[in-house]
Structure 1
């Protein structure tokens, strides 16, 4: 674990404190973690909307269905394996892109 033994005291006015508290709450990070990310050049992302988790569950369910179809089709020989694999890969990549777009902090540009 990192050792953080340097303490910094920052004084804020009421408006600045409200803004900081709001931004921290939107990310579900601690105040300290939020500020460390900013110092390291990253803008923390807000928590995704509840719809995000519903969409992700649906996408995962689709992926599971595709896997089941593949197993069944593989047993019966009635599915083009290459086409199915391409679709399954496309689904997996879509899920990863959604997760990354919503959860990965972005590097600050200025």
Structure 2
């Protein structure tokens, strides 16, 4: 349970509906969304199923690359530095996708 100072706000029906809708679209509670916005972050909406399918496919490819690398090291017949480079590129790509679709962005908007 979060310990801190309780604040209460009055919102119009339209504002309350907007807050609820935005919290649902980001899969956050209204309080969590408010705290993120207060800290200058703008959370992203939950990605569609295409994103998760692409992520699963990337994981599958990555696992295959790792298996290939193990086989290459064991049998010594594949260019291991090349495979390592490919795995590193794949990991960067996966990280970029996660950052693009899941991580909140820091905002430069200053409170007036």
Query: Is the pair's TM-score, using the shorter chain for normalization, greater than 0.5?
Result: yes
Q: Give a deviation string over 1:65-102, Cα, whole Å, max 9, x none.
A: 01111122222222111111000100011101111111
Q: For 1:29-78, what per-residue CA distance to the aligned partner results, in whole angstroms no more than 9, with x for missing partners?
A: 11111101111111112111111111111001001001111122222222
Determine the C-alpha separation between the residues in 1 that align with 2:33 and 2:47.
16
What is the aligned partner in structure 1 of residue 7 from structure 2?
8
Aligned to 2:20: 21
TM-score scaled by length of structure 2: 0.90
Q: CA deviation at 1:3?
A: 2.1
The equivalences for 1:1-110 within 5 A come to: 3-4=3-4, 6-110=5-109
Distance in 2 separating the partners of 1:23 and 1:105: 14
CA apart distance, 1:109: 2.1
What is the root-mean-square deviation in Å for CA atoms of aligned residues? 1.3
Secondary structure, counterpart of 1:48 in structure 2: coil
**Cα distance in 1 for residues equivalent to 2:2 and 2:40:** 19
Q: State the alpha-carbon separation in 2 of the partners of residues 9 and 73 from structure 1.
A: 62
Three-state SS of the structure 2 residue aligned to 1:45 is coil
Which sections of structure 1, spanning at least 5 residues, go unmatched?
A: none
Q: What is the distance in 1 between the residues matched to 2:76 and 2:105?
A: 46
> For 2:47 and 2:33, how far apart are their aligned partners in 1?
16
Task: Mark the runs of 5 or more structure 2 residues left unpaired by the alignment.
Answer: none
1:74 alignment partner, SS class: helix
Task: Give aligned pairs, total.
Answer: 109
